[in-house]
Amino acid sequence: MNIKPVSFIIVTCIVVLSQFCRASANNNGDSVRKDSALQIYLPREVTIEDDSLKLGRVSIIRGEESLVAKASEIMLGHFSLPGQKIVLDRSIVLSRLACNGISASQVALTGSEEITVKKQHKVIKGSEFVEMAASFLKKGLSDGSVCQAKPVRMPKDLFLPMSDKDVTLSPHLIDSAVPNQAKVRVSVLALDQVGDSNEIGAGIVTFRLKFKCRRVVTLTEIPAGAVIVPESVRIERIVTDYPEPANWSPPYGLIARHRLPANTVIQPNMLGSIKPAVAIKRNDTVIIRVEMPGLIVTALGKAMQQGCAGECIKIRNIDSQRIIVAKINEDGTVQPIF
């Protein structure tokens, strides 16, 4: 007996039978959908105006009038955050329907497998805050040494409820504890019913500043104790992270504390003032001067140390031979320190 033709016939019959069963099932499913009390179409994406997600707002419902009215009011959730998106799938919809007494057998769902629901907002992007703050900062900075302002901390997008009221942006500078930073707060203002402006949101932008400064560089080697003169240094203009001191001036007339090689950037701690010439030498006779309200007393003394104006040295009173400590005055007299 030839087995191969028989096997082929059996396989063919099984395939035909499975296709018939599948077609039958599809036809039955279509008839169920057409005969269902509710037909609900789920779009892929929906935008609504308020916070409540009711089934009637996020889908298209057809069917018996009483069931349509009931299903339309079924709550599916609420928005809790600005810019939030809520994704609902078919199982959630069927579950909420069942909780409200509408079984899955009464419902035919068509359309998307999932629906994404967004709330309609007016959005002020973070980049708009930055643009407004940068323009304000450029005009408002009184310090002409600022040459760069780079935003380093920017606000997120601000989502506002849809409204027919116009909003305006109002920037102003706020305090910053960091000397090379500037902070600008951009307020979002809207008019109320009486015409007053109220803040309904804000964004803060932080900028890192760069400054135009000067520095002094040696042209040639400067030995320790030498006086700084214009011919020995050059002044360069640079950009730095911190502002130049308000009392900055060229260091002409100061002396080098130690040897400064050529092309050295001079720092303040490398220089010192020229010490005044010695005003009193040891064993010099000096006038001891004591001033009191309505009275001036003078005496002769002998210096036991040398010193300059402003320094304190030991003085022996010639009359009493008493040793005192006195401060040297600019005119060469000494004033006892009591």
267-288 residue pLDDT tens: 989 998 877 666 899 999 999 9
204 shares a domain with 133: yes
Please enumerate, as own/partner, the contacts of 140-146 that have beta carbons within 8 Å and a separation of 24 or more: 140/173, 141/182, 143/211, 143/243, 145/211, 145/212, 145/213, 145/243, 145/244, 146/209, 146/210, 146/211, 146/212, 146/243
Res 123: pLDDT: 81
CB-based burial, 219-228: b 16+ in 10 Å, e otherwise = eeebeeeeeb
Q: Can you give the CATH number for the domain in which 143 is found? A: 3.10.129.10
Same domain, 141 and 203: yes
What's the pTM value of the predicted model, to 2 decimals? 0.49
Has residue 30 been placed in a domain? no
Do 260 and 289 fall into the same domain?
no
Identify the pLDDT of residue 318: 94
Q: Is residue 204 part of a domain?
A: yes
pLDDT at 52: 79
H or E element at residue 14: helix 3-35
Please check whether residues 188 and 143 belong to one and the same domain.
yes
pLDDT values of the chain reduced to their tens digit, one per residue, 338 residues: 444 443 444 444 444 334 433 444 344 443 334 557 889 999 999 888 777 789 988 899 999 888 899 999 999 988 766 567 889 999 999 999 999 999 989 999 999 999 998 877 678 889 989 999 998 988 877 667 888 899 999 999 888 876 656 778 899 999 888 888 999 999 998 877 676 788 888 999 999 999 999 999 999 999 998 999 999 999 999 999 988 888 889 999 999 999 999 999 999 899 988 776 668 999 999 999 998 888 889 999 999 999 988 899 999 999 999 999 999 988 889 999 97
Q: Residue 73's pLDDT is what? A: 92
Report how far Cα 274 is from the mean position of its chain's Cα atoms. Answer: 47
> What residues make up the domain containing 253?
212-272
62-68 contacts at long range (C-beta below 8 A, 24 or more positions apart) = 62/38, 63/36, 63/37, 63/38, 63/39, 64/37, 64/38, 67/37, 67/38, 67/102, 67/106, 68/38
Output the pLDDT for position 8: 41
User: CATH number for the domain including 326?
Assistant: 2.30.30.760
Give me the number of domains the chain comprises: 5
